[in-house]
Chains A and B, each alone.
Chain A
């Protein structure tokens, strides 16, 4: 068991390191000159000024040196020169060209919005999906089952962003059923926080719940067909108890897997959600940083952090999975 976990941790760590190198290479060695936006941010960019900024930013150093400085910054404080000098406390992900603030601080500032979307949405889709899946499995073969299966297939076939866009246009703009307030921090006004996020939650909840319903139904149907369940039923165990105690337990394993990955994907940046509902979270931030003038440190940081989240989620899922289903460890 310990060996399995250690192996997974090491490979996850490697994945993170390689991703960071890749991201770094993409932005700092790609065809765009990172000094360009900085130079332009303060007006007319002369060749002389550009050269100075390149020098200050250390762009003339070798790739390895630059990456080294970046990686080191994650563990110790460093000073970054962009026009003037800026302190960057560990874990340092750089200084934003646009705001000249520490990217780490801003990331922490944006996270509550994205986290709020992800948690609320996940709660809805998990409950709704599992519930619908269980119901469909219990009523297998009936009209209700067919309706649920057909409906979930239909909903999951519509691209998510169109669903969100139409929901925003009709439910918020046209019919004003949901308020167009955008995001308010929970600490500032819990009511407004809830009201502003309700529609995104519902949209994420409904769209994502379909695959949970399908999974749950699939696993339940399979389990309910197993001999031990038939035995339990034959022995007179109550039908509800069979369904929930035995059936659901078996269905949980695959659900944990996809839940972990989906949730990580949500945390990694809900770009469409934030763009459509005008919520200033990590996804919106990344999208804005990529629009000109590009803010390279922000892009690097969002991609890197998202990758770390996905990797960690993968790791957790594997570990949990290995507890739930010991066969995994063997293979």
Chain B
């Protein structure tokens, strides 16, 4: 899953941090005065539990109905079309409050973890023996916000849309990857609605795969795998007002600026095993800069008491929150990895890539970007973040403590490779002060290690586009990726499998990594029995890093959010690193 897209930056505090810069550091803040961090061990376990029998309605003991929740953020929302909602903020707001899909996650108070439960479907689906066919039966009594019934045909139409990479280029491509003829069927606008992979029989949907897809229930939790009303779904307009099936519907929406959600009168809590809907209204504002958000939250006066934010508290204010308002500070994990990806076609010598990893100013860049060690930046070396089943830590670089810089070692490696003075070109956003500061420390560190750093200026708006261009004149891409579900299946196919550069571009393979051995191995693991997969993914992670070292991990993500004193139920949904929308109420 993609990180929150960094948009708008007048002061762009900390934003883009994930996309453009890196981390620093020692492993566990040994220096006495470090921040007491989050539980780094379970970062990515996000949703590994399942409960197919969950039933609605859900009630929270002592929770009160009513009130308006104000939500503040400085990063605007990308497309709110359910088919395309693939950023942590868009996907989480849609599936938490507005749109329903086949399955969903709920927060488990005891473990602090997310649990996969049914949503529109009556259970988590029934696979055939080799996971190439899935059956989902829909509940009765689900209605659109206009009161009409949601039919299985609507869900089918929604799934069909998820194949369309032209109209929804930002959407997740799992339907294309796993569904029958997913590479040929291009969605209802291009290929029509004739498609054999999704069949409807009464209330039951049958989904056919081209290869085993044991993770289908997870994919079913994406807003994309839910109903869309055919005929009212012009892709350019539907994103401005997606039809609600959940407890809230769009009232007013100004993209990238503000969103007001009001109660959907046709949502029936009895049909929903995950959501509660205590507040009357959500008013979201995406234009308040982070200094102001922090001040509003610190003061906790008036409306601020019923306000929450899903932006991280600024590093500068973290100490104050931790000392004086700990009850209103929520820390949590985000199953995301930040890494630097040298272009595998251009930087062909593994020693140069390794030297880069030794030379990288982990701690300095984290500080420059305003990331806090062990809170919003956790050091590591595996591509897969901690918490994914069977993940075991390994270290592809001998004698390298994650998060530390070893200039001497980098220099030696570079000399060994005979590449002293190697030119490194990467992008930074010149209109984002954080990005500029991170660039400065990166330049210095690389220079000291014997590289010739040549940062390329871009803008916040253009950066991701330039980065995605295979022909861009850069040889390192700074990138990040988040789990779509707790399995290597949501990491290696999108991040490490070769893509057809002419046709699809880089995709999310920012290293432009291409090794037949790895491609083959990925396909192999996908067809393995489900119980063998987790260990195999971890083996693959290790094999890729030790043998090819195509990218180096800077660290994993964490979040530090704040809320007003009258907000209850604000925990971290670790599948997104976002608030647990489904449990929020106002006291």
Q: Which residues of A contact B (CB under 8 A)?
A: 36-37, 40, 42-46, 49, 83-84, 98-101, 173, 176, 179-181, 275, 278, 280, 284, 287-288, 291-294
Contact = CB atoms under 8 A, between A and B. Distances in A.
A181 B171 CA distance: 37
A180 B307 CA distance: 14
Please give me the 5 A-B residue pairs with the lowest Cβ-Cβ distance, nearest first. A292-B461, A43-B170, A43-B169, A84-B236, A44-B169
Given A42-B79, A291-B8, A278 B292 contact: yes
Contact of A292 (B254, B255, B299, B431): B431
9 contacts: A36-B461, A42-B79, A42-B169, A44-B169, A45-B465, A49-B169, A181-B303, A278-B292, A292-B7
Interface in B446-460: 459-460
A291 B240 contact: no
B191 interface: no
A171 to B, nearest CB: 13
Contacts of A43: 78-79, 84, 168-171
A83 to B, nearest CB: 4
Residue with the greatest number of chain A CB neighbours at <10 A, chosen from B9, B171, B299: B299
A84 B256 CA distance: 19
Given A43-B84, A98-B255, A100-B236, A292 B303 contact: no
Contacts of A287: 10
| Interface range on chain B (Cβ under 8 Å from partner) | 35 or more
A98 B465 contact: no
Contacts of A291: 8-10, 431, 460
Contacts, number: 85
Given A43-B84, A43-B168, A100-B236, A180 B299 contact: yes
A176 B301 contact: yes
Interface in B242-274: 254-257
Nearest to A280: B287
Interface string B71-106: 000000011000010000000000000000000000
Interface string B142-172: 0000000000000000000000001011110
Given A43-B79, A43-B168, 14 more contacts: A36-B462, A40-B464, A42-B169, A42-B236, A43-B84, A84-B237, A98-B255, A101-B254, A291-B8, A291-B9, A291-B10, A292-B459, A292-B462, A294-B461
A173 B287 CA distance: 18
Contacts of A99: 254-257
B170 A293 contact: no
Contact of A180 (B255, B296, B459): B296
A288 B254 CA distance: 13
B505 interface: yes
Contacts of A36: 461-462, 465
Interface in B504-553: 505
A84 B234 contact: yes
Contact of A83 (B84, B170, B236, B257): B236
A97 to B, nearest CB: 10
A177 to B, nearest CB: 12
Contact of A288 (B168, B287, B292): B287
B288 A37 contact: no
B385 to A, nearest CB: 25
B300 to A, nearest CB: 11
B468 interface: yes
B468 A98 contact: no
B295 interface: yes
Interface string B281-299: 0000001100010011001
Interface string B51-65: 000000000000000
A234 B391 CA distance: 100
A176 B292 CA distance: 14
B79 A46 contact: no
A275 B461 contact: no
A179 B302 contact: yes
Given A45-B465, A99-B255, A180 B10 contact: no
